Homo-oligomer: A and B are copies of this chain.
Amino acid sequence: MQQLGSQTWQFTTRPVILGSSAVVGPEEGEGPLAADFDFIYDTLKMGEKTWEKAERTLFEKASQLALYNAGIDEKQLEFFVGGDLMNQIISSSFAARKLGVPYLGVFGACSTSMESLAIASMIVDSGGSKYVLAGTSSHNCTVEKQFRYPTEYGSQKPPTAQYTVTGSGCAVIGKNDGSGKGVQVVSATIGRVMDLDITDPFNMGTAMAPAAADTITAHFRDTTLSPGYYDLIITGDLASVGLPIAKALLAKEGIPMEQTKFDDCGLLIYDLDKQKYVIAGGSGCGCSAVVTYGHILKRMKKGELKRVLIVATGALLSPLSYQQGESIPCVAHAVALEIGGEGV
């Protein structure tokens, strides 16, 4: 791999996503991307006694399906890079226990989807493994309970609030065989922590927008590409409040985002007009993971998209840090995916 500028890694061998999975809950199954998901649970409990056990079941299901879709079995899998929003990333660690392979736990809040993909791709690119699983999850009821209020409490939310996606997305990254087949992981831009002094955990889009803009700016500075190179640039979960802020910040930086389609996973996953309860849109580790590993990869395989930059954003708060009056530090990690390019 090669370092471009200060924040970007170009993966010399262009590792390939051999297979992926997107498993969601009932509300995501009523959204416009339903047909792109591999499995839709019809209840939020997923047959388990607690929300936390349900999230783990979701993650385990997604990891199994990713292996199946990649055409490899558990014995061939060599490493697992995963994380989630739960305290001590228990959903991921329990999924790792079931997988039984060497495990690297990671945490970047909702940016975990691209952090895990970047690290998994680095491992494959640098010769550390043939098959690495990257994945993450979130569950509406575990996350709302942990970070804000239990959903059963029925508290009102302000119009800036987002709705945590119930979903897990996983991908198996493998060596590029040089055939030009498959979606290739081309580069990753690792984000810096940005903090705009937002202290309201119901206003994540505003808090995360500067991190997204900073990482996108860094990506184009480091790679010397311009936005028009990509068919789609998509942020993790800025939703309806954060995306316009990111657009304004990028315009201020002079990045010509009008050259391409610039969208947000949190806006795609739900029908905001019909599913009013999602308020500003989707959020959570699972949001960018299931939109990427379900929807976007399918569009790439169909030839509708050739080059996509996924910019997953994360708010690195804890309930305790904001109760102690701290602002919300945020980060965004970008990964560039391409189809049809040449591997080594």
Inter-chain contact B107/A190, CB cutoff 8 Å: no
Inter-chain contact A100/B324, CB cutoff 8 Å: no
Partner of A329, one of B53, B96, B316: B96
Inter-chain contact A324/B190, CB cutoff 8 Å: no
Q: A318-B88, A321-B90, A324-B53 are in contact. Are A7 and B102 (CB under 8 A)?
A: yes
As a 0/1 sequence over residues 52 to 91 of chain A, the CB contacts with chain B under 8 angstroms (1 = contact) are 1100000000000000000000000011000101111110
User: Does A319 belong to the interface (CB within 8 Å)?
Assistant: yes
- Expressed in whole angstroms, the Cα–Cα distance for A1 and B125 within the complex equals 10
Inter-chain contact B115/A122, CB cutoff 8 Å: no
Inter-chain contact B127/A2, CB cutoff 8 Å: yes
Query: For residue A151, which residues in chain B have a CB less than 8 angstroms away from its CB?
Result: none
Query: For residue A85, which residues in chain B have a CB less than 8 angstroms away from its CB?
Result: 88
Q: A107-B88, A108-B105, A324-B53 are in contact. Are A93 and B316 (CB under 8 A)?
A: yes
User: Does A33 belong to the interface (CB within 8 Å)?
Assistant: no
Minimum CB–CB distance for A117 against chain B, Å: 12
Which B-chain residue is minimally distant from A147 (CB atoms)? Answer: B88
Minimum CB–CB distance for A103 against chain B, Å: 5
Tally of A interface residues using CB under 8 Å: 57
* Chain A binding surface SS class: mixed
Q: Which of A1-55 contact B (CB under 8 A)?
A: 1-3, 6-7, 9, 50, 52-53
Q: Which residues of A contact B (CB under 8 A)?
A: 1-3, 6-7, 9, 50, 52-53, 78-79, 83, 85-90, 93-94, 96-97, 100-109, 115, 119, 122-123, 125-130, 190-193, 195, 316-321, 324, 326, 329, 331
Closest 8 CB pairs of A and B: A126-B126, A102-B190, A88-B318, A93-B316, A97-B193, A105-B107, A87-B87, A87-B318
Beyond A94-B329, A96-B329, A104-B119, 6 extra complex contacts between A and B, CB < 8 Å: A6-B102, A89-B107, A96-B331, A103-B331, A104-B106, A122-B128
